[in-house]
Structure 1
Amino acid sequence: MPNNDRLLVQILLLALLGSALWVLAPFFSALFWGAVLAFASWPLMPLLTRWLGGRTSLAAGILTAGWMFLVVIPLVWLGFNLSHHVRDAVNLVKDLQVQGLPAPPEWLGGVPLVGERLVGWWMTIDQQGAAVFASVKPYLGEVGNFLLARSAKIGGGMLELTLSLVLVFFFYRDGPALADLVRKGLHRLIGERADYYLHLIAGTVQRVVNGVIGTAAAQAVLALIGFWIAGVPGAILLGMLTFVFSLIPMGPPLVWIPATAWLAWKGEYGYAIFLGVWGTFIVSGVDNVLKPYLISRGGNLPLVVVLLGVFGGLLAFGFMGLFLGPTLLAVAYSLLSDWVKTDPTTPTVKIVEQR
């Protein structure tokens, strides 16, 4: 009978845990990002707490306000600038529809073998421009609906980001208690190896954060320098967009390639060639050097495991997988390594030191 009572209690506890996870399911993403932000900047928390005489809540509030200043204000500024540039893009489309394409550049006809054909295509596109705009007009409504749906999704993402910035306060304030709870739970499950795996997870997440955020910041600064040199308008806005797109694989070309095309459109062929070379070898090239270095620095995991975790996590879990993927692969790799190294058939031999 006591065994049956114990089994019933375990079933009730599992049901209670499942219900709690069900309630928290809509907030998993916000909780995850709040935890990542708090973990990435945690070294500042004890330092600020000491400066404030041990007032933990005040230190957590200051750091949370700092995150809001760093994230919310740039996003609002980015939104206003995007609306301005969208208006410019709409005016450009209207001008093309009314006036057509400008005259083909002189160098286009001088291209060996295909120069005359390229000029002919240019003139054909210019003459058929009105027909092209008329043919795509029925689809503009669908495009508008798609953009409306994307805008709603972006709005939901902004709300989720705001919730993450609110939750990061509680991760700062109650982080040590939560970490102690997790450590005790893992000790109950796997024993002495709990501290090793906690250290492994923490190190992996920290290296991925440093690699992804550090590389994105470096690419944004380099892209901003290139935009300034080439005289591209809205260089700061494009630099911020480069930082955002750098968080996804092959993202920066989505910013500097249109800027290069715009320079060529304006006849600035020298600056267009410069920006194309700068974007290919400097902005995009730094991703192949800096990110692997930052991710692999200070760790004993093979770099391929971490990189596969980054890209596979993005495909499997979306942007959240950027951190979940390498963490899961790192823990799985370490578990497999421990299992392979442990041979249960080999007896333990105790070596006695000879005096």
Structure 2
Amino acid sequence: MGFQMLNDRLMVLLLLLALLGASLWVLLPFASALFWAAVLAFASWPLMRILTNWLNGRESVAAAILTGGWVLLVAVPLLLLGLNMADHIRGATELINTMRVEGLPPAPGWLAGVPLVGESLVRLWNNLDQQGSALFTTIRPYLGEVGNWLLGRSAKIAGGILELALSLVLVFFFYRDGPRLADFVEGLLERLIGDRAQHYLDLVAATVQRVVNGVIGTAVAQGALALIGFWIAGVPGALPLGLLTVVFSLIPMGPPFVWIPATAWLVWQGEYGYAVFLGIWGTFGISGVDNVLKPYLISRGGNLPLVVVLLGVFGGLYAFGFMGLFLGPTLLAVAYSLLSGWVSEARTSRKAKEPHGAE
């Protein structure tokens, strides 16, 4: 009888594991979108709570309003940015085709005025113009590979936009059903690890909140520094470029894609002094603050050593991509807490067993 009951329990356990594996397999294509929707909902949950109170507890309406706000703040600017990039790519393609037929335009007047190397640059420009046909004949076999590479990158960008759109759809359900999902996760963890479930839930929540604060705070700081640099250097559209820097700061190594073209534009205009200033300001100010401010904001208010946070941020980015910015510190925080608790319990147990005379 006992053997039969053991077989029945084993069969039920295997069926549950198979069901869990099949469910994870179904959700795997949407793992990234689910992750970002959960992070976005968690980071803005105080707004959801305030808005729900204002609307007398109508959670669905509050969730719809917040989701619409995220669409306006995130999806629309990214769509406009994508259309703008498409226009620039089209313009670059037309320029290449024109150069193939007509050659390079005359060398700009400022090129000869570059100290020390101006005349050499003008000669190089003229040589390239004279040898343009031969140059394009040489590089023609590689243009197909470059086109395929650009096509692959475009497909990735399109996939990322679709993933973002799915995240903004899913965040509505995280807003609306957030309390029920939290109760389900808490009950599941209590079933697995007992009374310590709430402690680890609080640990994960605090770590994610600090990471979100660090990412957003650093993005705002980089945008402000970029705005100051563009304004001092006289770059037109300093405010839109500063806002664009905030958006690109959410992407690893993103800000250089804003301030480097601005620096190149200053060189093209012959503003070499401001170009040098903006290059130094961008390297050590705009981009450099990311390596200092973000780890500080993430570690502030917690009991994690700074080295653990740094390893979590950079190791997570390397291992998981952009998701690792949140996963890395969270995983190391939970592991550090587990090990610290285990060591503390062992020390407490050892001290309790020591004879009173040894005190």
Aligned to 2:357: none
Which has the higher mean CA deviation after the structures are superposed, 325-334 or 239-248? 239-248
Aligned to 2:178: 175
Aligned partner (choices 40, 56, 74) of residue 71 of structure 1? 74
Distance in 2, Cα, partners of 1:133 & 1:218: 44
Task: Give the percent of matched residue pairs that are identical in Structure 1 and Structure 2.
Answer: 67
- 1:108 is aligned with what amino acid? V
Aligned to 2:249: 246
- 1:346 is aligned with what amino acid? R
Aligned partner (choices 40, 43, 46) of residue 40 of structure 1? 43
Matches within 5 A, 1:195-214: 195-214=198-217
Aligned partner (choices 252, 269, 280) of residue 272 of structure 2? 269
Aligned partner (choices 98, 106, 110) of residue 104 of structure 2? 98
Cα deviation, residue 203, structure 1 = 0.7
- Distance change (3 Å), C-alpha of 1:122 and 1:245: farther
Cα deviation, residue 90, structure 1 = 4.6
Distance in 2, Cα, partners of 1:151 & 1:249: 18
Distance in 2, Cα, partners of 1:91 & 1:235: 28
Q: Does the CA-based 8 Å contact 1:34-1:168 persist in structure 2?
A: yes
- 1:278 is aligned with what amino acid? W
Which has the higher mean CA deviation after the structures are superposed, 301-310 or 281-290? 281-290
Distance in 1, Cα, partners of 2:237 & 2:88: 9
Q: Does 2:343 correspond to 1:346?
A: no
Aligned residue pairs, count: 344
Q: Does 2:339 correspond to 1:333?
A: no
Cα deviation, residue 246, structure 1 = 2.0
Aligned to 2:124: 124
TM-score by length of 1: 0.88
Q: Does 2:145 correspond to 1:139?
A: no
Which has the higher mean CA deviation after the structures are superposed, 255-264 or 84-93? 84-93
CA deviations on 1:233-285 (whole Å, 9 max, x unpaired) are: 45455435423432344432233123212211221123212322321333123
- 2:272 is aligned with what amino acid? Y
Q: Does the CA-based 8 Å contact 1:81-1:237 persist in structure 2?
A: no
Q: Does the CA-based 8 Å contact 1:30-1:164 persist in structure 2?
A: yes
Aligned to 1:112: none
Structure 2 unaligned spans of 5+? 355-359
Q: Does the CA-based 8 Å contact 2:316-2:328 persist in structure 1?
A: yes
Cα deviation, residue 125, structure 1 = 4.5
Q: Does 2:33 correspond to 1:60?
A: no
- Distance change (3 Å), C-alpha of 1:177 and 1:6: same
TM-score by length of 2: 0.87
Q: Does the CA-based 8 Å contact 1:45-1:59 persist in structure 2?
A: yes
Distance in 1, Cα, partners of 2:351 & 2:273: 73
Structure 1 unaligned spans of 5+? 110-114, 351-355
Q: Does 2:163 correspond to 1:160?
A: yes
Distance in 2, Cα, partners of 1:205 & 1:272: 38
Distance in 2, Cα, partners of 1:173 & 1:126: 65
State the secondary structure of the residue aligned to 1:99. coil
State the secondary structure of the residue aligned to 1:301. coil
Q: Does the CA-based 8 Å contact 2:223-2:245 persist in structure 1?
A: yes
Matches within 5 A, 1:301-312: 301-312=304-315
Aligned to 1:353: none
Distance in 1, Cα, partners of 2:35 & 2:165: 13
- 2:294 is aligned with what amino acid? K
Structure 1 runs of 4+ with >6 Å offset:
none
